[in-house]
Structure 1
Amino acid sequence: MQNLIRFSEHILFLEPSHETDRPLLAAIVGSERTLLIDAGNSLRHANLFLNHLKTFNIQGDWLAITHHDWDHVFGLSEFKIPVIAHYSTRDEIKKLQCLSWADEALEQRVRDKTQTSFSAINIKKELGNERDVVIPLPNITYMVQMSMDLGGVSCLIEHVGGDHAYDSSVVYIPEEKVLFVGDAMYANTKTWSYTTENTLKLIHKLEKYDLEVCFLSHQEKPLTKAEYLHELNVLRDIAVLTEKFKGDRKSISEELANRLARSLSEDEIETIDFFLNGFHGAT
């Protein structure tokens, strides 16, 4: 059961679920308006979120989309409010509107490597046999960033890019020192890769935020400031070491272990593999 959690006076979030890859959904509540974050991976997911909000007497005024992946936009038609997205997210949703989600079409895209088998499986599990997906286009787009005053609390929405999705945006609430990064810190799941160039550009954008808490869309618990900075530093170190040692796994692993003064975790070893996939794929 996914619960709606009141994180603070202004922030509520619906927990993510790994069962069908449902991402975290959130509401930023001001005294005058409310911004919702992401639309969910189905109409059921969207309605679960909206019904939970009703129990708190909350209705959204705007909906911000962090990026175009199916699990963040398939619930869009349930939201009868203006939708905000980066202009490239709007372009990608246009492409999604033309696709079939029937078994044959999903399986062909998996063979073509334009869709992951993981997403195809979860689409089937989440939607069942009713896959006539309607994805309305966003009403409001921006090039770099936009901000809004909700009354007593404000939000900055900024495009940051990254390997997971080039259209990724984040939502920052300065009064709360909270950052919603969507999937921006994750790898490219089609090729299971990070590239050094995109990662270093992303980190440069993310590290400027003065935050105490960071929410990732598919992580059960938010990151503390220390955890967030550690994640950024490890990504930066591996990116730099990948270039320095020209994709040599042994040298990268040994140097990173020396810097951390401990053995590497499974996640860190996997992250090195993702950078090597990106490095060798680009060379």
Structure 2
Amino acid sequence: MQKLVKISDRSLFLPPSHETDRPLLAAIVGSERTLLIDAGNSSRHATLFLQQLKALNIQGDWLVITHHDWDHVFGLSEFKIPVISHFNTRDEIKKLQYLSWTDEALDQRVKDKTQTSSSAENIKKELGTERDVVFPLPNITYTDQVTIDLGGVSCLIEHVGGDHAYDSSVVYIPEEKVLFVGDAMYANTMNWSYTAEKTLKLIQKLEQYDVELCFLSHQDKPLTKAEYQHELSVLKNIATLIQVFQGDKSSIAEELVNRLHRSLSEDELETIDFFINGLHS
């Protein structure tokens, strides 16, 4: 069972679980109010989070949803507090209200290429036979960004987009120099692709934050400042090179080696492939 981890006196997170693709959930605790980040991939996941917070006498006042993917919203019904999201996230959650989650419906969406096979299988494993998912709609929406004052600490919630989900938002805590990036830095999982245009726009927004710790929703440990800057640099370099070399992997890899002054990791080579996929999507 995943257990809450304390980042500081003001912030905690429940680490992700890869067995059924449970994302990271978090709480930012001010002197007056508490903001929770993401609803989890099921009622069980949400309940686990809320029970562990309760054991520490922490109760959420608001919940923010980073984007509309199933694993971030299936636990919504367990949160009896106002929900904040980007207006596009609210629209996407509303669409989920009309979908069926039976095996047959999931398998058909996989065939139609509107859902990945891995997400369909994870939904089956996480929910079991209890597939009656309820999606309360967010009460508060924003267009670009909104700042929440929790008392002694604030949270800047900003829409950043990206290839993974066009409605992606991040949560930045300036007093802590902590950034919760959700899934925004990940590729489009329907065809495992990045595009140069969306990536460069995303990075331009992310570079404005002074970050000491960065949390990605499906990564066990946060990125340090150096690791975070490295990830942004690699994405930015490949996004630029894909435009210059138009998908020539060997030329992109060679130039990236020259810039980094070392050989490339398997993840970096895979990222080049994802950008090449983006040229043909």
TM bracket (short chain): over 0.9
Q: Under a length normalisation based on structure 2, what TM-score does the superposition of the two structures give?
A: 0.99
Could you give the per-residue CA deviations for residues 157-178 of structure 1, whole angstroms, max 9, x where no partner exists?
Answer: 0000000000000000000000
SS at structure 1 position matched to 2:107: helix
**1:219 aligned to 2:219?**
yes
The answer as to whether partners of 1:247 and 1:280 remain within 8 angstroms in 2 is: no
1: CA distance, partners of 2:57 / 2:269: 45
Q: Which amino acid aligns with 1:53?
A: L
How far has the Cα of 1:280 moved from its partner? Answer: 2.4
Could you give the per-residue CA deviations for residues 91-129 of structure 1, whole angstroms, max 9, x where no partner exists?
Answer: 000111110000011001101110000100100000001
How far has the Cα of 1:211 moved from its partner? Answer: 1.3
SS at structure 2 position matched to 1:17: coil
1: CA distance, partners of 2:131 / 2:10: 35
Q: Which amino acid aligns with 2:269?
A: I
How far has the Cα of 1:259 moved from its partner? Answer: 1.2
| 1:21 corresponding residue in structure 2 | 21
Shift >4 Å, 4+ stretches: none
SS at structure 1 position matched to 2:280: helix
2: CA distance, partners of 1:228 / 1:211: 8
| 2:108 corresponding residue in structure 1 | 108
CA RMSD of aligned residues (A): 0.5
How far has the Cα of 1:263 moved from its partner? Answer: 1.3
2: CA distance, partners of 1:260 / 1:96: 43
SS at structure 1 position matched to 2:162: coil
Could you give the per-residue CA deviations for residues 54-84 of structure 1, whole angstroms, max 9, x where no partner exists?
Answer: 1110000000000000000000000000000
Could you give the per-residue CA deviations for residues 149-192 of structure 1, whole angstroms, max 9, x where no partner exists?
Answer: 10110110000000000000000000000000000000000010
Residue segments in structure 2 that go unaligned for 5+ positions in a row:
none
Q: Under a length normalisation based on structure 1, what TM-score does the superposition of the two structures give?
A: 0.99
| 1:167 corresponding residue in structure 2 | 167
Could you give the per-residue CA deviations for residues 1-56 of structure 1, whole angstroms, max 9, x where no partner exists?
Answer: 20101110100100100000000000000010000000000000000000000111
| 1:81 corresponding residue in structure 2 | 81
**1:45 aligned to 2:45?**
yes
Q: Which amino acid aligns with 1:222?
A: P
| 2:229 corresponding residue in structure 1 | 229
